[in-house]
Amino acid sequence: MEHMISLFVRSIFVDNMIFAFFLGMCSYLAVSKNVKTAFGLGVAVTFVLLVTVPVDYALQTYVLGPGAIVTGVDLTFLAFILFIAVIAGMVQLVEMIVERFSPSLYASLGIFLPLIAVNCAIMGASLFMQQRVTMEPTNAQFIGGFGDAIAYALGSGIGWLLAIVGLAAIREKMAYTDVPKPLQGLGITFITVGLMALAFMCFSGLNI
């Protein structure tokens, strides 16, 4: 239990998907123009993470891992194809749910909803999970069961949500500032994210 809480907090602040690993940058930069849409996308990403990481954990443990099906057979090289198939399926599901229950959110997310399938944060979380399964159990990043996998997925999703809502709020204010012409739009956004990442670095010494 203690380890799960530690994993959860670490993946929000220390191993933040955006600021430490730059995962999910494309949609992060494109959908962060207003807070409401950003929040919607953040929730969608968190939900997809919450479903895919435990499913991929099960696949890794019971199908792919060394000796999981037949002793002495290591199928980990198939991970890319299997993980991406799970993710694509889950995104389809989320798309259908959002379209049914919140058509306005569906319209404002537009193309970026199906693009969650190719959001690196989702694939990245599964691949990091695969890496963390093989770590020493004493390591703070170790994932050793479904509980850990869920805590990690939830933490990563909330970290991503926090980052995109923060950036959207800053960009809403920034619309009124006088930025040099060639730096406008993308350039200044990058530099803003850089400064936010610097701020998040102060969490890196956090030991829980």
Partner 1 sequence: MSKLFSNENKAAFTNPLSMDNPVTVQVLGICSALAVTSQLKPAIVMGLSVTVITAFSNVIISLLRKTIPNRIRIIVQLVVVAALVTIVSQLLKAYVYDVSVQLSVYVGLIITNCILMGRLEAFAMQNGPWPSFLDGIGNGLGYAAILVIVGFVRELLGFGTLLGYNVIPQFLYDAGYKNNGMMVMPAMSLIIVGCVIWAHRSINKEKK
Q: Report the distance separating Cα 16 and Cα 13, nearest Å.
A: 5
| Nearer CB in complex with partner 1: 56/148 | 56
The answer to whether the CB of 18 falls within 8 A of the CB of 162 is no
| Nearer CB in complex with partner 1: 101/181 | 181
| Nearer CB in complex with partner 1: 116/150 | 116
Chain positions contacting partner 1, by CB under 8 A: 19-26, 29-30, 77-81, 84-85, 88, 114-115, 117-120, 122-124, 127-128, 131, 180, 182-183, 186-191, 193-195, 197-198, 201
CB 149 → partner 1: shortest distance, Å? 16
Q: Report the distance separating Cα 93 and Cα 50, nearest Å.
A: 13
The answer to whether the CB of 74 falls within 8 A of the CB of 67 is yes
CB 121 → partner 1: shortest distance, Å? 8
Which tokens go with 86? 């799970």
| Nearer CB in complex with partner 1: 26/140 | 26
Backbone angles phi, psi at 137, to 5 degrees: -60, -20
